[in-house]
Homo-oligomer: A and B are copies of this chain.
Amino acid sequence: MLAEIITIGDEILIGQIIDSNSAWMAQQLNAAGIRVKQISSVSDDRDHIITALKEASQRADIILITGGLGPTKDDITKTTLAGYFGVGMKRDQETLDNVARIFAKYNRPLLEVNISQADVPENCEVLINKNGTAPGMWFQEDGKVYVSMPGVPFEMMYLMEELVIPKLKATFKLPKILHQTILTFGEGESFLAERIADIEDQLPPKIKLAYLPNLGQVRLRLSAYGDNEEQLKQQLKIQTQKITQRLGSVVAATEDIPLQKAILLLMAKNKQTLSLAESCTGGYLSHLFTSLPGASGVFLGAAVSYSYKMKERMLGVNADTLWETGAVSEQTVREMAEGALRNFSSDYAIAVTGIAGPDGGTEDKPVGTVWIAVARKDKMIANKYVFGSKRIQNIERTAITAMSDLLKLLREPK
């Protein structure tokens, strides 16, 4: 079963907002066994919307539309839909009651433009929106389903979860789609593809493999399509095992999580703690860990030591080391890691120091030069890397590389 998503409105087209609604809707649809064929963002323009509806209905059986339902003049979705289906408008009493209820709740006067929110195309079944004044609308024409929803995320989410997905499940016989993600680190897409070429060639026809690369990590996603859920689960399990066994130590996780979460889960399981000494990453590594719920069980804290003095005071780096070898040197990064282990009493520590750029490089230490140390009481590994010339990318690459180095150390026996 195929669906398409059409978002209406200029905010996305001028880059003012990022279309996070569609990603969320796509997840919900996939989980219900409905594949999304295309997502289109179109302008507040009647002809353009009608063309998009026609094109979508030629490819898919389910067309979900968001946006363009507010009370202001530029919101034209409803009359455009009536035109598309060749019907007139009707005033829906239940919607009017809902609008009146919401205005009474907030003690606001009910204006004519608000009353007109209860006007809907004659052929629609209204989906009452408990979180807002714009109604959802369900159309069934020529075996296709069209659903129109407001673009405000929590209103759309309410309608999708409570009304649209259940109604789609009741209307169509849906196949199952299951996904399994394998997170790898430290190797490129092409290296991985060559390592598992024969496994990929022999995948059962119902299973597809996709490579999703991103800065030092590649996610391998297996998707299984069919009717027999148990059989699909079994097949996914077998293929996941084959691939993880073949790829061995470059596999960080067999779920769809970022590298920092794989590290936190592993350290939490082993009751280990972590502290950081960050120079060039400037708090970004800490932020990656602390964005995750439950981080405080593992992550004790970090010294973001941007100046020489902060490296001395928070981490006990030797002033002579800094003046003789510089802030970006093996000796400094080692003393930073030692200082973090000692001062913060953590089981593990990461220290990073480098030249993020765009300025500050020298001939023997160009912009992008980074030293990373990962340490525990009995072992320390320090590596030098040379990344590019762009500041943000250097920060991100340093962070992902530091996490990769830590994961390797975490797996080494004591």
A interface with B by C-beta (< 8 Å):
10-20, 22-30, 35-44, 48, 52, 55, 59, 70-74, 108, 111, 113-114, 131, 152, 154, 179, 188-191, 193-194, 200, 209-214, 221, 223, 256, 275-276, 278, 281-287, 289-291, 293-296, 299-307, 309-310, 313-314, 343-345, 356-359, 388, 390-393, 395
Contacts and interface: CB of A to CB of B under 8 A. Distances in A.
Contacts of A305: 301
13 contacts: A14-B36, A14-B223, A15-B29, A19-B19, A38-B43, A70-B189, A114-B190, A154-B393, A283-B287, A293-B358, A301-B307, A309-B345, A314-B314
Contact of A290 (B20, B35, B282): B282
B344 A212 contact: no
A29 B16 CA distance: 12
B16 A19 contact: no
Contacts of A388: 131
Given A200-B73, A299-B306, A282 B286 contact: yes
A273 to B, nearest CB: 9
A193 B112 CA distance: 12
A304 B301 contact: yes
Q: How many copies of this protein are present in the complex? A: 2
B24 A22 contact: no
Given A73-B200, A314-B301, A15 B19 contact: no
Given A72-B193, A300-B309, A301-B307, A12 B38 contact: no
A43 B286 CA distance: 36
A338 to B, nearest CB: 16
Most buried by B among A37, A309, A310, A343: A310
A33 to B, nearest CB: 12
Most buried by B among A13, A71, A358, A388: A13
Contacts of A10: 210
A306 B295 contact: yes
A350 B2 CA distance: 49
Given A71-B190, A189-B71, A189-B72, A12 B41 contact: no
A51 to B, nearest CB: 8
A106 B25 CA distance: 39
Given A193-B72, A211-B70, A304-B286, A39 B26 contact: no
Contacts of A343: 313
A300 B223 CA distance: 47
A154 to B, nearest CB: 5
B291 A16 contact: no
A72 B290 CA distance: 34
Contacts of A289: 282
Contact of A71 (B59, B193, B221): B193
Contacts of A303: 301-304, 314
Contacts of A108: 188, 191
Nearest to A299: B306
Given A15-B26, A16-B23, A38-B40, 18 more contacts: A10-B210, A15-B36, A16-B221, A37-B42, A38-B43, A73-B193, A113-B194, A154-B390, A283-B290, A283-B302, A286-B287, A290-B395, A291-B391, A301-B304, A301-B307, A301-B310, A302-B302, A310-B344
Nearest to A219: B16
A256 B73 contact: no
Nearest to A214: B152
